[in-house]
Amino acid sequence: MLTNRLNILLALYVLSCLLYLTIGVNGNWDFILIFRGSKLISMTLVAISISIATILFQTICQNRILTPSIMGFDALYILVQTLLVFVIGSFSFTEISAEMNFLINFLIMMICATALFGTLLGNTKPDVYRLILTGIIFGVLFNAITNFLQRLIDPSEFSIIMNVSFAQFNRINSPALIMICTSFVLLSLIVTWKFRHHLDVLALGRNTAINLGVNYQKFLILILIIIAALVSTSTALVGPVTFFGLLVSNLTYMLFPDHRHAILLPAVVLVSAIVLIGGQTILERFLNLTTPLSVIIEFLGGVTFLVIILKGAKR
Protein backbone atom coordinates (compact mmCIF):
# COMPACT_ATOMS: atom_id res chain seq x y z
CA MET A 1 0.00 0.00 0.00
CA LEU A 2 2.66 2.48 1.05
CA THR A 3 4.91 1.33 -1.77
CA ASN A 4 2.15 2.08 -4.25
CA ARG A 5 1.81 5.57 -2.82
CA LEU A 6 5.55 6.10 -3.22
CA ASN A 7 5.29 5.02 -6.86
CA ILE A 8 2.43 7.46 -7.42
CA LEU A 9 4.45 10.28 -5.86
CA LEU A 10 7.43 9.39 -8.03
CA ALA A 11 5.25 9.55 -11.14
CA LEU A 12 3.85 12.93 -10.04
CA TYR A 13 7.38 14.22 -9.46
CA VAL A 14 8.48 13.17 -12.95
CA LEU A 15 5.32 14.74 -14.42
CA SER A 16 5.89 18.02 -12.57
CA CYS A 17 9.48 18.13 -13.85
CA LEU A 18 8.38 17.53 -17.44
CA LEU A 19 5.68 20.19 -17.22
CA TYR A 20 8.13 22.71 -15.74
CA LEU A 21 10.63 22.07 -18.54
CA THR A 22 8.20 22.05 -21.48
CA ILE A 23 5.18 24.29 -20.83
CA GLY A 24 5.29 27.53 -22.79
CA VAL A 25 8.48 26.77 -24.70
CA ASN A 26 8.87 29.13 -27.65
CA GLY A 27 12.37 29.29 -28.99
CA ASN A 28 15.68 27.50 -28.71
CA TRP A 29 15.16 24.22 -26.87
CA ASP A 30 18.85 23.85 -26.02
CA PHE A 31 18.95 27.20 -24.22
CA ILE A 32 15.59 26.76 -22.49
CA LEU A 33 16.34 23.27 -21.22
CA ILE A 34 19.65 24.44 -19.75
CA PHE A 35 18.04 27.59 -18.35
CA ARG A 36 15.09 25.79 -16.77
CA GLY A 37 17.10 22.69 -15.94
CA SER A 38 19.44 24.59 -13.62
CA LYS A 39 16.48 26.02 -11.73
CA LEU A 40 14.85 22.59 -11.61
CA ILE A 41 17.96 21.03 -10.09
CA SER A 42 18.20 23.87 -7.57
CA MET A 43 14.58 23.43 -6.50
CA THR A 44 15.06 19.67 -6.17
CA LEU A 45 18.13 20.20 -3.99
CA VAL A 46 16.22 22.67 -1.83
CA ALA A 47 13.29 20.26 -1.52
CA ILE A 48 15.61 17.43 -0.45
CA SER A 49 17.59 19.57 1.99
CA ILE A 50 14.65 21.18 3.79
CA SER A 51 12.50 18.05 3.95
CA ILE A 52 15.22 15.70 5.19
CA ALA A 53 16.51 18.25 7.72
CA THR A 54 12.98 18.74 9.08
CA ILE A 55 12.27 15.00 9.43
CA LEU A 56 15.61 14.46 11.18
CA PHE A 57 15.04 17.38 13.54
CA GLN A 58 11.53 16.25 14.41
CA THR A 59 12.83 12.73 15.02
CA ILE A 60 15.46 13.74 17.55
CA CYS A 61 13.05 16.18 19.22
CA GLN A 62 10.09 13.74 19.12
CA ASN A 63 7.95 16.71 18.13
CA ARG A 64 6.23 17.28 14.80
CA ILE A 65 5.83 21.06 15.03
CA LEU A 66 9.50 21.96 15.40
CA THR A 67 11.74 22.79 12.45
CA PRO A 68 15.50 23.52 12.16
CA SER A 69 14.75 27.23 11.68
CA ILE A 70 13.98 27.39 15.40
CA MET A 71 17.71 26.82 16.04
CA GLY A 72 18.51 30.22 14.55
CA PHE A 73 20.11 29.09 11.27
CA ASP A 74 17.97 31.42 9.16
CA ALA A 75 18.73 34.33 11.48
CA LEU A 76 22.46 33.54 11.30
CA TYR A 77 22.34 33.55 7.48
CA ILE A 78 20.71 36.99 7.37
CA LEU A 79 23.20 38.28 9.97
CA VAL A 80 26.16 37.08 7.85
CA GLN A 81 24.74 38.76 4.73
CA THR A 82 24.15 41.97 6.69
CA LEU A 83 27.66 41.93 8.12
CA LEU A 84 29.16 41.47 4.66
CA VAL A 85 27.24 44.46 3.30
CA PHE A 86 28.06 46.52 6.40
CA VAL A 87 31.80 45.76 6.31
CA ILE A 88 32.68 45.68 2.60
CA GLY A 89 29.82 47.75 1.13
CA SER A 90 27.07 46.92 -1.33
CA PHE A 91 29.25 47.20 -4.44
CA SER A 92 31.86 44.73 -3.17
CA PHE A 93 29.08 42.48 -1.88
CA THR A 94 27.51 42.20 -5.33
CA GLU A 95 30.94 41.35 -6.74
CA ILE A 96 31.26 38.28 -4.49
CA SER A 97 30.66 35.12 -6.50
CA ALA A 98 27.79 32.82 -5.61
CA GLU A 99 30.27 30.05 -4.80
CA MET A 100 32.28 32.23 -2.41
CA ASN A 101 29.12 33.53 -0.71
CA PHE A 102 27.94 29.95 -0.25
CA LEU A 103 31.25 28.80 1.22
CA ILE A 104 31.35 31.75 3.64
CA ASN A 105 27.83 31.04 4.90
CA PHE A 106 28.34 27.28 4.97
CA LEU A 107 31.58 27.48 6.95
CA ILE A 108 30.20 29.99 9.46
CA MET A 109 27.03 27.95 10.00
CA MET A 110 28.95 24.71 10.43
CA ILE A 111 31.46 26.28 12.84
CA CYS A 112 28.68 27.80 14.94
CA ALA A 113 26.64 24.59 14.85
CA THR A 114 29.61 22.43 15.82
CA ALA A 115 30.54 24.79 18.65
CA LEU A 116 26.95 24.87 19.93
CA PHE A 117 26.37 21.12 19.68
CA GLY A 118 29.77 20.24 21.08
CA THR A 119 29.40 22.58 24.05
CA LEU A 120 25.87 21.54 25.01
CA LEU A 121 26.07 17.84 24.13
CA GLY A 122 29.73 16.97 24.42
CA ASN A 123 30.56 16.73 28.10
CA THR A 124 27.21 16.65 29.86
CA LYS A 125 24.07 14.57 29.73
CA PRO A 126 22.51 15.27 26.32
CA ASP A 127 19.48 17.53 26.64
CA VAL A 128 17.78 18.26 23.32
CA TYR A 129 15.30 20.71 24.80
CA ARG A 130 18.06 22.76 26.40
CA LEU A 131 19.74 22.80 23.00
CA ILE A 132 16.53 24.04 21.35
CA LEU A 133 16.08 26.76 23.97
CA THR A 134 19.67 27.90 23.46
CA GLY A 135 19.09 27.97 19.70
CA ILE A 136 16.00 30.15 20.16
CA ILE A 137 17.95 32.58 22.33
CA PHE A 138 20.76 32.80 19.77
CA GLY A 139 18.18 33.34 17.02
CA VAL A 140 16.76 36.31 18.93
CA LEU A 141 20.28 37.64 19.48
CA PHE A 142 21.15 37.32 15.79
CA ASN A 143 17.94 39.12 14.80
CA ALA A 144 18.67 41.94 17.25
CA ILE A 145 22.21 42.43 15.90
CA THR A 146 20.89 42.30 12.33
CA ASN A 147 18.23 44.95 13.02
CA PHE A 148 20.84 47.19 14.66
CA LEU A 149 23.23 46.94 11.70
CA GLN A 150 20.43 47.51 9.19
CA ARG A 151 19.66 50.84 10.88
CA LEU A 152 23.24 51.96 10.39
CA ILE A 153 23.68 51.20 6.71
CA ASP A 154 22.67 53.21 3.66
CA PRO A 155 19.06 52.72 2.42
CA SER A 156 20.32 51.46 -0.95
CA GLU A 157 22.38 48.82 0.83
CA PHE A 158 19.37 47.93 2.96
CA SER A 159 17.42 47.01 -0.19
CA ILE A 160 20.16 44.52 -1.12
CA ILE A 161 19.86 42.87 2.28
CA MET A 162 16.09 42.65 1.92
CA ASN A 163 16.56 40.97 -1.44
CA VAL A 164 18.60 38.12 0.08
CA SER A 165 16.47 37.88 3.24
CA PHE A 166 13.54 36.21 1.49
CA ALA A 167 13.47 32.94 -0.40
CA GLN A 168 13.49 33.22 -4.20
CA PHE A 169 12.82 29.89 -5.87
CA ASN A 170 13.29 31.28 -9.38
CA ARG A 171 16.85 32.37 -8.61
CA ILE A 172 19.41 31.28 -11.21
CA ASN A 173 22.37 29.46 -9.69
CA SER A 174 25.74 28.90 -11.31
CA PRO A 175 26.67 25.34 -12.40
CA ALA A 176 29.64 25.37 -10.02
CA LEU A 177 27.43 26.24 -7.04
CA ILE A 178 24.91 23.57 -8.02
CA MET A 179 27.71 20.99 -8.18
CA ILE A 180 28.97 22.01 -4.73
CA CYS A 181 25.50 21.85 -3.21
CA THR A 182 24.77 18.54 -4.94
CA SER A 183 27.88 16.98 -3.41
CA PHE A 184 26.90 18.14 0.10
CA VAL A 185 23.33 16.92 -0.30
CA LEU A 186 24.34 13.53 -1.72
CA LEU A 187 26.84 12.97 1.10
CA SER A 188 24.20 13.87 3.68
CA LEU A 189 21.67 11.56 2.02
CA ILE A 190 24.10 8.63 1.96
CA VAL A 191 24.90 8.99 5.67
CA THR A 192 21.24 9.50 6.59
CA TRP A 193 20.08 6.48 4.61
CA LYS A 194 22.82 4.34 6.13
CA PHE A 195 21.49 5.10 9.61
CA ARG A 196 17.77 5.00 8.74
CA HIS A 197 17.13 2.09 11.13
CA HIS A 198 18.97 3.90 13.92
CA LEU A 199 16.60 6.82 13.37
CA ASP A 200 13.63 4.50 13.98
CA VAL A 201 15.13 3.60 17.34
CA LEU A 202 16.06 7.21 18.12
CA ALA A 203 12.43 8.25 17.61
CA LEU A 204 11.48 6.04 20.58
CA GLY A 205 13.35 8.31 22.98
CA ARG A 206 16.76 8.60 24.58
CA ASN A 207 16.42 5.88 27.22
CA THR A 208 14.93 3.35 24.82
CA ALA A 209 17.59 4.09 22.19
CA ILE A 210 20.40 3.59 24.72
CA ASN A 211 18.85 0.34 25.99
CA LEU A 212 18.69 -0.92 22.40
CA GLY A 213 22.40 -0.26 21.85
CA VAL A 214 22.49 3.13 20.12
CA ASN A 215 25.37 5.44 21.05
CA TYR A 216 22.91 8.25 21.67
CA GLN A 217 25.31 11.13 22.26
CA LYS A 218 27.56 10.63 19.24
CA PHE A 219 24.65 9.76 16.95
CA LEU A 220 22.73 12.86 18.07
CA ILE A 221 25.68 15.14 17.26
CA LEU A 222 26.09 13.46 13.85
CA ILE A 223 22.42 14.04 13.00
CA LEU A 224 22.57 17.67 14.11
CA ILE A 225 25.64 18.30 11.94
CA ILE A 226 23.81 16.77 8.94
CA ILE A 227 20.85 19.05 9.68
CA ALA A 228 23.13 22.09 9.82
CA ALA A 229 24.76 21.13 6.50
CA LEU A 230 21.39 20.64 4.76
CA VAL A 231 19.89 23.86 6.12
CA SER A 232 22.93 25.92 5.12
CA THR A 233 22.83 24.37 1.63
CA SER A 234 19.16 25.20 1.03
CA THR A 235 19.54 28.68 2.49
CA ALA A 236 22.52 29.47 0.26
CA LEU A 237 20.57 28.40 -2.84
CA VAL A 238 17.26 30.24 -2.37
CA GLY A 239 17.34 32.06 0.98
CA PRO A 240 15.70 31.33 4.35
CA VAL A 241 12.42 29.39 4.41
CA THR A 242 10.66 29.04 7.76
CA PHE A 243 7.51 26.96 7.32
CA PHE A 244 8.14 24.89 4.19
CA GLY A 245 9.60 21.97 6.14
CA LEU A 246 6.67 22.01 8.58
CA LEU A 247 4.19 21.97 5.69
CA VAL A 248 5.69 19.08 3.71
CA SER A 249 6.57 16.96 6.75
CA ASN A 250 3.01 17.02 8.07
CA LEU A 251 1.62 16.32 4.60
CA THR A 252 3.91 13.29 4.55
CA TYR A 253 2.76 12.13 7.98
CA MET A 254 -0.86 12.29 6.78
CA LEU A 255 -0.16 10.40 3.55
CA PHE A 256 2.22 7.87 5.16
CA PRO A 257 1.16 7.02 8.74
CA ASP A 258 4.29 4.96 9.31
CA HIS A 259 7.17 5.33 11.76
CA ARG A 260 9.83 3.77 9.51
CA HIS A 261 12.31 6.26 8.09
CA ALA A 262 12.88 3.95 5.12
CA ILE A 263 9.38 5.07 4.07
CA LEU A 264 9.28 8.59 5.52
CA LEU A 265 12.55 9.84 4.00
CA PRO A 266 11.82 9.14 0.30
CA ALA A 267 8.18 10.12 0.82
CA VAL A 268 8.95 13.55 2.26
CA VAL A 269 11.50 14.23 -0.48
CA LEU A 270 8.94 13.47 -3.19
CA VAL A 271 6.16 15.45 -1.49
CA SER A 272 8.36 18.51 -1.03
CA ALA A 273 9.69 18.33 -4.61
CA ILE A 274 6.17 18.06 -6.03
CA VAL A 275 4.93 20.99 -3.94
CA LEU A 276 7.91 23.16 -4.84
CA ILE A 277 8.21 22.37 -8.55
CA GLY A 278 4.47 22.16 -9.11
CA GLY A 279 3.85 25.43 -7.31
CA GLN A 280 6.62 27.20 -9.20
CA THR A 281 5.27 25.84 -12.50
CA ILE A 282 1.80 27.24 -11.81
CA LEU A 283 3.14 30.62 -10.73
CA GLU A 284 5.58 31.02 -13.63
CA ARG A 285 3.52 29.59 -16.48
CA PHE A 286 -0.05 30.56 -15.55
CA LEU A 287 0.06 33.41 -13.01
CA ASN A 288 3.15 35.27 -14.37
CA LEU A 289 4.76 35.33 -10.90
CA THR A 290 2.12 37.74 -9.55
CA THR A 291 2.77 36.26 -6.10
CA PRO A 292 6.14 34.81 -4.99
CA LEU A 293 5.98 31.11 -4.13
CA SER A 294 7.74 31.76 -0.82
CA VAL A 295 4.84 33.95 0.33
CA ILE A 296 2.29 31.21 -0.43
CA ILE A 297 4.42 28.56 1.26
CA GLU A 298 4.91 30.67 4.38
CA PHE A 299 1.17 31.35 4.53
CA LEU A 300 0.19 27.68 4.14
CA GLY A 301 2.93 26.61 6.55
CA GLY A 302 1.76 29.15 9.12
CA VAL A 303 -1.82 27.90 8.80
CA THR A 304 -0.58 24.32 9.21
CA PHE A 305 1.31 25.32 12.35
CA LEU A 306 -1.79 26.95 13.85
CA VAL A 307 -3.99 23.96 13.01
CA ILE A 308 -1.55 21.57 14.70
CA ILE A 309 -1.33 23.80 17.77
CA LEU A 310 -5.12 24.18 18.04
CA LYS A 311 -5.74 20.47 17.55
CA GLY A 312 -3.22 19.68 20.26
CA ALA A 313 -4.82 22.20 22.63
CA LYS A 314 -8.25 20.56 22.23
CA ARG A 315 -6.98 17.12 23.23
DSSP per residue over 48-70, as a string? HHHHHHHHHHHHHHT-TT--GGG
Is 78 inside any structural domain?
yes
Is 39 inside any structural domain?
yes
Q: Which domain holds residue 305?
A: 2-310
Is 260 inside any structural domain?
yes
Q: From residue 204, how far is each of 57, 140, 245 by CA, in Å?
A: 14, 31, 22
Measured CA to CA, the distance from residue 62 to residue 72 in angstroms comes to 19
Number of domain units in the chain: 1
Helix (H, G, I), strand (E, B) or coil at 124: coil
Is 291 inside any structural domain?
yes
Each of the 315 residues of the chain gets a pLDDT tens digit; together they read 778 888 899 999 999 888 888 887 776 777 777 777 888 888 899 899 999 999 998 888 887 777 887 777 778 888 888 888 888 877 777 777 777 877 887 888 778 777 776 666 655 555 667 777 777 888 888 889 888 888 888 777 777 777 777 667 666 667 788 888 888 899 999 999 999 888 888 888 778 888 888 888 788 888 888 888 888 888 777 777 777 888 888 889 888 888 889 999 999 999 999 988 888 888 777 776 656 666 677 667 667 767 766 665 444
Is 236 inside any structural domain?
yes
Is 155 inside any structural domain?
yes
Q: At what angle do helices 98-121 and 73-95 cross, to 10 degrees?
A: 150
Is 315 inside any structural domain?
no
Instruction: Find the CATH number of the domain harbouring 65.
Output: 1.10.3470.10
Measured CA to CA, the distance from residue 151 to residue 141 in angstroms comes to 16
Q: pTM here?
A: 0.85
